Amino acid sequence: MNWEKVVRNNIKKILSGESGHDYEHTLRVYDLCIKLGKLEGADVEVLKAASLLHDIARPVEESIGVSHSIKGAEIARNILKETDFPKNKIEKVCRVIRTHRFTEGIEPQETEEKIMRDADRLDALGAIGIARAFIFGGKNGRSLTESVKHFHDKLLKLKDKMYTKSTYDMAVERHKFMEQFLDRLQKEIVGEA
């Protein structure tokens, strides 16, 4: 049974009701992981599986009280065991998923772990990051001011937290775009533009 087809079908169903951390986000992170994996000499097969499965437990995170990165690793293991994914790489995929979220306090060690965290963060920057921030803010009842505060509290700090040179270079460009957007937004808010 082709592992990627099985995983994609599962993820598409599971993330269908999500906003911000939806199937489209997963596919962007997947593409970034492949690109970065090739640039950094990482195991692209591990990155493909980890990126597709990294948010699989996000829809149940609040209801079960366990981080989606921890629960997601468990779910990923069970799914991959039932496919033709190389058995000797399953635990590595699980470690990559467990370390992708910085709030867990688990520092990425392996190249694949660093790339996964970087790719997930990179998708929170630039035009995509702006769109995601306002989609998430709208869904969760954040005001415009609260959403802008989120940029300053979190998103504008991501550029300097990248692990790989390849990702940092991409983050710099996206970061600049976000700063330009926020400058223009502020001018419009106060009536200067």
Range of the domain at 91: 1-104
Do 75 and 169 fall within a single domain? Answer: no
Examine the pLDDT at 1 and tell me if it is beyond 90: no
Do 129 and 51 fall within a single domain? Answer: no
Mean pLDDT within 25-36: 96
Do 28 and 94 fall within a single domain? Answer: yes
Do 65 and 154 fall within a single domain? Answer: no
How confident is the model over 143-189, as pLDDT tens digits?
Answer: 999 999 999 999 999 999 999 999 999 999 999 999 999 999 999 99
Residue 20 lies in a domain: yes
CATH code of the domain covering residue 144: 1.20.58.1910
Residue 145 lies in a domain: yes
pTM, full prediction: 0.91
What is the structure's pLDDT at 148?
94
Do 161 and 68 fall within a single domain? Answer: no
pLDDT band at 139 (very low <50, low <70, confident <90, very high): confident
Q: Which carries the bigger pLDDT value, residue 178 or residue 17?
A: 178
Mean pLDDT within 81-110: 91
Residue 33 lies in a domain: yes
Residue 31 lies in a domain: yes
Examine the pLDDT at 105 and tell me if it is beyond 80: no
Examine the pLDDT at 64 and tell me if it is beyond 80: yes
Mean pLDDT within 118-144: 93
Do 14 and 95 fall within a single domain? Answer: yes
Q: What is the DSSP string of the chain?
A: --HHHHHHHHHHHHTTT-SSSSHHHHHHHHHHHHHHHHHHT--HHHHHHHHHHTTTTGGGHHHHTS-HHHHHHHHHHHHHHTTTS-GGGHHHHHHHHHHS-GGG-----SHHHHHHHHHHHHTTSHHHHHHHHHHHHHHTT--HHHHHHHHHHTGGGSGGG--SHHHHHHHHHHHHHHHHHHHHHHHHHTT--
What is the structure's pLDDT at 18?
67
Q: What angle do CA 26, 31, 34 make, to 5 degrees?
A: 125
Q: In the listed set 42, 76, 104, which residue is the last one of a domain according to the structure?
A: 104
pLDDT band at 125 (very low <50, low <70, confident <90, very high): very high
